[in-house]
Amino acid sequence: MARSKSSNAWLQEHVNDHYVHMAQKDGYRARAAYKLLEINEKDKLLKPGMWVADLGAAPGSWSQVAARAVGEKGRVFAMDLLEMPFIPGVEFIQGDFREDEVLARYATLLGGRQVDLVICDMAPNISGNAVTDQARSIYLCELALAFAQDHLKPGGDLLVKVFQGYGYNEFLAAMRETFTQVVTRKPKASRDRSPEMYLLGKQKKG
């Protein structure tokens, strides 16, 4: 017998929920960890000894993945507007990424050194107005790209969450100007109904 639409929706949600159970079992703070793990499996972004910037890090699941991957010789520098409990191997600054003073503090943490990888799972607080929310989202993406242009090594990579809509094509063009290759990723851990996807800029141009 064919399932109803509501039954299918429930089943899909239930199947996806297994990431929540996996996160609890594996010690990750959020199911989002599996988005980064899947992309990393495909693209081999994280390597031992790397310096990684995690923008919009709270509650910290991406920082956890990064810290485990880079090991004791690597370093992870996290930033978020929200408080984030301590993670071994992660240095954290709490503040608004949009403020110059916060960026300056973050740059001080880096000690003038450029990072090997920038990861950004930031999203704006949703207002319910699709136009406003999309504009805010693209603005955060642009800030992440500007950060990468300033603080990412030549040859380094940027992984950033995006939502397709107003401003997306312009942002994609800016990514292509900065990186040798730009690819899209939609990990299985992203819920099907979510419009989110990820742009991966590979090999920052010198």
Task: For the chain, report the end-to-end CA distance as a whole number of angstroms.
Answer: 59
pLDDT of residue 56: 95
Q: How many CB atoms lie within 10 A of CB 150?
A: 10
The whole-model pTM stands at: 0.90
Q: How many domains does the chain have?
A: 1
CATH of the domain at 64: 3.40.50.150
In angstroms and rounded to an integer, the radius of gyration of the C-alpha atoms of the chain is: 17
- pLDDT band with cut points at 50, 70 and 90 for residue 125: confident
* Overall average pLDDT of the 30-51 stretch: 96
- Annotated binding-site members for S-adenosyl-L-methionine: 60, 62, 80, 96, 121
Collapsed DSSP state (helix, strand, coil) of residue 116: strand
Structural domain boundaries, residue 104:
5-204
For the chain, list the strands marked E by DSSP.
Answer: 51-55, 75-80, 90-94, 115-120, 152-163, 179-185, 196-204
* Overall average pLDDT of the 36-42 stretch: 97
Identify which of 13, 12, 32 has the alpha carbon closest to the alpha carbon of residue 22. 32
Is the pLDDT assigned to residue 17 strictly greater than 80? no
Query: Which positions are catalytic?
Result: 161
Residue-wise pLDDT for 83-120, tens only, equals: 999 999 999 999 998 899 999 999 999 998 999 999 99
